[in-house]
Chains A and B, each alone.
Chain A
Amino acid sequence: MVINLRFFNRSELMGFIVLAAVLFVILPLSLDVFRLNLVAKYLTYAFVALGLVLCWGYGGILSLGQGVFFGLGGYCMAMFLKLEASSVENTKIQSTPGIPDFMDWNQITSLPLFWQPFHSLTFTILAIILVPGIFALIIGTAMFKRRVGGTYFAIITQAVAAILTILIVGQQGYTGGINGMTDLRTLKGWDIRPDHAKVILYFVEVVLLFACIGIAQFIRLTKLGRILVAMREQEDRVRFSGYSVANFKIFAFCMAAVFAAIGGAMFALNVGFMSPSFVGIVPSIEMVIYTAVGGRMSIFGAIWGAILVNFAKTSLSESFPQLWLFGLGALFIAVVLAFPNGLSGLWADYVQPRIDRLFTSRKSKSAWKDNSVADGAPAE
């Protein structure tokens, strides 16, 4: 009962409405298709940020390797699209028609076994969820069951990101190497490149994002959400309350991986290619920065972080390409030093109280005093 009535508290409900209004109405009406497609690209990172809120913000598990899962999801999607784009007619100039172009360039004459199932869209969708999910399960089990945590875990995830990048670049006959998988064209015969397709894909992505927000919010409100918070503070107390801490960490890490993978798959669809430059150490750290800037304890904050930092990245790197990385670094330092709870923390400290006061004064005018006190001071 309590949970049903209060799926969102008042400030979260406002966050939900504002985000829904901006993404569903304001941006599609005010931006041209090119800019809207850029927003779609930023939103793919919002999925990653959402996962990091659960895993890092709530569970206290800092992963510097989310690019791995973003990449796995993206590559699964890209493999399906690439196979469809490499039909025999499209590739008849190759020495072996019907296989992806980069395989042909690398003297591979038949489709490798692990590529075969990606002819099926059902398999691909399952793989987008399961491949990163199972990979996270293996890493999580190996690390958390041995009580590897904190900085050591972060370093290992970073190493995994480096390894996967090297693997993808090195095996270019199977993966497209440093260039990635380009020239993706159709999804089940439906062209993903023209403007109207971009708009539809944008809306599909926003709907998926809201579904993921729903899942994350549901998890946050169950006892599992509270155990994650408890674990972050007093791991031993959770253990001696009868819980297997490792299993809960594995769960949070796997959820973050699956969210990141969905983002990656949407990236391949919206942007039309996938490359190792979205997998490695630098993109993985950038993902943590979006989350930190937005506020790692806040679902909506992190999503705004992903959108705004990427927007800044595009605008700044259009005008001052060399300055961007310094700007990003400075931003991260500023967040850590000056406002550790990110934008959502600033919002909760400075904006929310004003809004609450506005409500309170209006309410007291209509003689609702008793409610306004309890309602107006949610300890965020």
Chain B
Amino acid sequence: MLVGHQPKEFLLAVSGLTVSFDGFKAVNDLSFYIEENEIRVIIGPNGAGKTTVLDLICGKTKATEGSIQFRGTELTKLKENEIVKAGVGRKFQTPSVFEDLTVFENLEISFPRGRTVFGSLTFQRDQQVKDRVEEVAEMIFLKDKLNTYASELSHGQKQWLEIGMLLIQDPDLLMLDEPVAGMSVSERAKTAELLNRIIKNRSVLVIEHDMKFVEDIAHKVTVLHQGQILSEGTMEKVKNDPKVVEVYLGH
């Protein structure tokens, strides 16, 4: 297909990806490539298929056609937990943390060790785990809340906790679905700071509506519209693309 102009070192190569729900193609013949250490933001109007793309990559939704190669591994054939082990982490749009567990326990569950049934029965909370949990808790501004139940956290703190749960997995590709949605202005600023710190040494794929935030972090922007790529490139280029202005930025 695209063999002619495909450079060698892509972290993630999505090609010809299509998913149809009862004939409706939510994502239609989509191809894009993410390099190592690249920060890519996907923008687009509601219903453009942004979240579906993340669902497809992390295995929540099965593709109808096409392929997703992650470091040469075909992800479309793997189960969700195998995709996580391959090095892909995913944050959901609404904060999904374990409310009946403490912040410490939430982070501990995400620590990448003892993920089988018997592994988790024999899992020991040793110094390595404690140190790592504390390190991550400090990064996500929850160091003094380690023994607080997650149900008692504010919306923004829950978002941070979920980001922390991904960090502790140490994925090579981090996928974030609207990380600053519903946050206060000060929380937004802190989150941007947090994201800027955690995106080092890994690739990040972000869905976001906040254009200021996008401009701050994106290396490259992909604009989706009706399941297809409308435009792709630097923020500057995308902003001045007349098609993008018409369907998305114009409003």
| Residue B121 is within 8 A (CB to CB) of chain A in the complex | yes
Least distance between A146 CB and chain B CB atoms (Å): 13
Q: Whole-angstrom distance from the CB of A212 to the nearest CB of chain B?
A: 16
How distant is A321 from chain B, measured CB to nearest CB, in Å?
Answer: 42
A223 near B123 with CB under 8 A, answer: yes
Q: Could you tell me which residues of chain A, from 195 to 246, have a CB within 8 Å of some CB in chain B? A: 219, 222-224, 226-227, 229-230, 232-234, 236-245
Binary per-residue interface labels of chain B (216-230) against chain A in the complex, 1 for a CB within 8 Å, 0 otherwise: 000000000000000
Which residues of chain A are within 8 angstroms of B121 by Cβ–Cβ distance? 219, 222-224
Cβ contact within 8 Å between A240 and B90: yes
What residues of A have a CB within 8 angstroms of the CB of B123 in the complex? 222-224
User: With the chains together, A233 CA to B162 CA distance in Å?
Assistant: 14
Q: Is the CB of A242 within 8 A of B112?
A: yes
Most chain B CB inside 10 Å of its own CB: which residue of A2, A227, A229, A251: A227
The answer to whether A242 and B117 have CB atoms under 8 Å apart is no
Complex interface: chain A residues within 8 A of B80 (CB) = 239-240
Residues of A within 8 A of B232 (CB): none
- Does A315 lie at the interface of the complex (its beta carbon under 8 Å from any beta carbon of B)? no
Name B114's contact: one of A3, A223, A238 (CB within 8 Å).
A223
A247 to B81, CA, bound (A): 11
Cβ of A339 under 8 Å from chain B:
no
Shortest Cβ distance from A30 into chain B, in angstroms? 39
Report Cα–Cα, A234/B162, bound state, in Å: 12
Contacts of A232 in B (CB 8 A): 100
Interface residue? A8 (CB, 8 A): no
Contact, CB under 8 Å: B120 / A224: yes
* CB atoms of B117 and A230 under 8 A apart: no
**B116 nearest CB neighbor, chain A only:** A247
Docked CA distance A233–B169 (Å): 20
B58 within 8 A of A: yes
8 Å CB interface, B29-87 against A: 58, 60, 79-81, 84-85
Q: Which residue of chain B lies nearest to A248 when distances are taken between CB atoms in the complex?
A: B117
- Which residues of chain A are within 8 angstroms of B112 by Cβ–Cβ distance? 242
Residues on A with beta carbons closer than 8 Å to the beta carbon of B117? 224, 247-248, 251
Cα distance A243–B106 when bound, in Å?
A: 14
Q: What does the 1/0 interface line of A25-63 toward B look like (CB < 8 Å)?
A: 000000000000000000000000000000000000000
Q: Please pick, from A233, A239, A244, the residue contacting B98 in the complex, using a CB distance under 8 A.
A: A233
* Interface residue SS majority, chain B: mixed
Q: Which residue of A lies closest to B98 (CB)?
A: A230
A residues less than 8 Å from B120 (CB atoms): 222-224, 227, 243, 248
The answer to whether B237 has its CB under 8 Å from any CB of chain A is: no
- Is B169 in contact with A226, judged by CB distance below 8 angstroms? no
Q: How far is the CA of A219 from the CA of B118 in the complex (A)?
A: 11
How many residues of chain B are within 8 Å of chain A by beta carbon? 35
B156 at the interface (CB under 8 A from A): no
A113 within 8 A of B: no
Least distance between A295 CB and chain B CB atoms (Å): 15
Q: Say if the beta carbon of A5 comes within 8 Å of chain B.
A: no
B105 interface contact, C-beta 8 A? yes
Nearest Cβ distance between residue A229 and chain B, in whole angstroms?
5
**A27 and B84 alpha carbons, distance in the complex (Å):** 53
Contacts A223-B114, A233-B100 known; A238 to B149 CB distance under 8 Å? no
User: By the criterion CB–CB under 8 Å, are A236 and B92 in contact?
Assistant: yes
Complex CA–CA separation, A236 to B99 (angstroms): 14
The CB with the most chain A CB atoms within 10 A, among B92, B96, B108, is that of B96
Q: A367 at the A/B interface (Cβ < 8 Å)?
A: no
In the assembled complex, A93 has its CB within 8 A of some CB on chain B: no
Instruction: Find B108's partner among A223, A238, A244, A248 (CB 8 Å cutoff).
Output: A223
Bound form: Cα–Cα A309–B149 in Å: 33
| Bound: A16/B84 CA distance, A | 40
| Bound complex: CA A232 to CA B101 (Å) | 12
Tell me, yes or no, whether B235 is within 8 Å of chain A by CB: no
B94 to chain A, nearest CB (A): 10
Contact yes or no, A241 B169, CB < 8 A? yes
Partner of A238, one of B58, B109, B116: B109
Please tell me if B115 contacts chain A, counting CB pairs below 8 Å: yes
Measured CB to CB, the nearest residue on chain B to A374 is: B147
A379 interface residue, CB < 8 Å from B?
yes
User: B136 at interface (Cβ–Cβ under 8 A)?
Assistant: no
Q: Contact: A226 with B60, CB < 8 Å? A: no
Question: From A234, which residue of chain B is reached at the shortest CB distance?
Answer: B96
Q: Which residues from A are CB-within-8-Å of B99?
A: 233
CA distance A223 to B110 in the complex (A): 11
Question: Which of B80, B84, B105, B112 has the most C-beta atoms of chain A within 10 angstroms of its own C-beta?
Answer: B80
Cross-chain contact of A229 among B97, B100, B125 (Cβ < 8 A): B100
In the bound assembly, the distance between CA atoms of A234 and B94 in angstroms comes to 12
User: Is B109 a contact of A241 with CB atoms below 8 Å?
Assistant: yes
- Does B179 make an interface contact (CB < 8 A)? no
Closest chain B residue to A233, Cβ basis: B98
Contact A242 B81 (CB under 8 A): yes
CB distance from A39 to the nearest CB of B (A): 33
Q: Can you name 28 A-B pairs with beta carbons within 8 Å? A: A3-B125, A223-B114, A223-B121, A223-B123, A226-B105, A227-B120, A229-B98, A229-B101, A232-B100, A234-B96, A236-B60, A236-B92, A237-B92, A237-B162, A240-B58, A240-B60, A240-B80, A240-B81, A240-B90, A241-B110, A241-B165, A242-B84, A242-B112, A242-B115, A243-B81, A243-B120, A244-B115, A251-B117
Given A226-B98, A247-B117, 9 additional A-B pairs, CB 8 A: A226-B108, A227-B109, A240-B84, A240-B90, A241-B84, A241-B110, A241-B169, A242-B169, A244-B116
Closest 7 A/B residue pairs (Cβ):
A242-B84, A223-B123, A230-B98, A224-B120, A237-B96, A223-B120, A239-B80
What residues make up the interface of B, taking CB atoms closer than 8 Å to A?
Answer: 58, 60, 79-81, 84-85, 89-90, 92, 96-101, 105-106, 108-110, 112, 114-117, 120-123, 125, 149, 162, 165, 169
